[in-house]
Amino acid sequence: MDLKPWIARALLAGRKPLPDAAPKRAPIPKSIASFQINFAPPAHVSPKRPKKLQRRPWTTAELKHLFRLKDRDSSWEAIQSYFPERSIDAIKQTFWKHRSYFRSVKSARKKRLRTIQGFGVPFRLDTIAEETDAQNTVKINSPTAPDPAIPDADTKEKDDICA
């Protein structure tokens, strides 16, 4: 038997030589080769939703409505009844994704209201009525008193720039 030189060296070194070619495969039986696979979906799988309802972005009105509902401690199932084309998981994911933005907007709105209401002093008409005198002029210490540094329209002072 005539061995090729690389096979003889492998055997002398105690290694198993590599095969010369890939092993031969058995032929595929005709019964399997002619088998056709039916690619129809199974009957128990529900059909997909129409394409126009899939992955539609949330509008600002929908997001506001979602956060109003969640602020009222509504359950996810109750909230889902307002958004029938959205799954509960999609609603939860959107809520947690946009929650920090809506919280910052809410706190900014509260800060703005506090500033408008006299830097933390609640704006009440009854306190203003108590702080006015008989001539119906507002006293200086009231939160709505006019700023003395700003000239009135009645004082006929003119700006040098406008003159």
DSSP-derived secondary structure for 91-148: HHHHHHHHHHHHHHHHHHHHHHHHHHTTTTS---HHHHHHTB-TT--B-TTSTTPPPT
Report the alpha-carbon distance of residue 100 to residue 103 in Å, rounded: 5
| Residue 43 within any structural domain of the chain | no
- Look at the block and give the residue holding tokens 């999609």: 90
Q: Does residue 24 form part of some domain?
A: no
29 in a structural domain: no
Residue 89 within any structural domain of the chain:
yes
Q: What pLDDT score was predicted for residue 50? A: 55
Local confidence pLDDT in tens for the 163 residues of the chain: 678 888 888 899 999 888 777 788 888 777 665 656 656 666 666 666 555 556 789 998 999 899 899 888 889 999 999 999 899 999 999 999 988 887 777 777 777 776 666 655 555 544 444 444 555 554 444 455 454 544 444 444 444 444 4
Residue 154 counted as domain residue? no
Using a CB cutoff of 8 Å and minimum separation of 24, what contacts does 46-54 make? 49/85, 53/85
> 22-57 as b/e, with b when 16 or more CB fall inside 10 Å?
eeeeeeeeeeeeeeeeeeeeeeeeeeeeeeeeeeee
- Structural domain contains residue 69: yes
Confidence at residue 37, expressed as pLDDT on a 0 to 100 scale: 61
Range of 63's domain? 56-130
- Residue 133: CB atoms within 10 A of its CB come to 8
137 assigned to some structural domain: no
Assess if residue 153 is contained within a domain: no
In total, how many domains does the chain have?
Answer: 1
Cα maximum dimension of the chain: 132
